[in-house]
Amino acid sequence: MAANLRQFAFAFALVSLGISAYAQNPFDTHKQFSATIVMSGMPTGQHGPQGDMKIYRLGDKIRTNIGSMAYSVIDIGQNTMYMVMGQGMCMQMPAKTEQNPFAQQGSFQRTSAGTEVVDGHSCKVENVIVTSQKGTQTKMKIWEADDLQGFPVKVEVQTAKGPITALYKDVSFDAPAASLFTRPDNCQQMPSMPGRQQ
């Protein structure tokens, strides 16, 4: 009887571990990397960055270059984003984590959607639903490359104005320089605008 209970407890622990591992954040397994993002499918009327962008992650900080003169830094732990523009101008605001898959926080529901080859990488495909602490949901599809430790080389996010797709190329797991995540000391709080959701 005691042996059976031990076997049951062990089996239950393995199943629980499998469930929790599968439900974990698929974007939080790579704490340091750099890559080039190729965006497509920007909804009509939305002014998104043009051309390829560089993205860097080091721990809880994510930097995205926007053009040649600006960049943003998201601090996941502080739920804060800093927009740094030419001439050292800096604005601080609450992070819009839904705009960057690697900054997603909340609970994750993941279901398998088969396999596919993307940009030469054999990938496991998953449908993902992220539910934020406020209860809002973001639906996306991700392609995790077998040869890049499951790194999501393609992410398709569903928005009210249509899907947005990000392809991640030239992925490197070398630690980016900490200096990339610095910001000016004179960051100003972004003023609230009427009708703007925080």
User: What distance in Å separates the CA atoms of residue 59 and residue 137, rounded to the nearest whole number?
Assistant: 25
Q: How confident is the model at residue 94 (pLDDT cuts 50, 70, 90)?
A: confident
**Coil, strand, or helix at residue 127?**
strand
Domains of the chain: 24-188 (2.50.20.10)
Question: Does 103 score more than 90 pLDDT?
Answer: no
Residue 20: per-residue pLDDT: 34
User: What distance in Å separates the CA atoms of residue 136 and residue 118, rounded to the nearest whole number?
Assistant: 29
Question: Does 179 score more than 70 pLDDT?
Answer: yes
Report field, pTM of the whole predicted structure over 0.75: yes
Tokens of 109: 């529901």
Least confident of 21-30, 54-63, 64-73: 21-30
What's the mean pLDDT in 168-196?
83
Q: How far is CA 138 from the centre of its chain?
A: 12
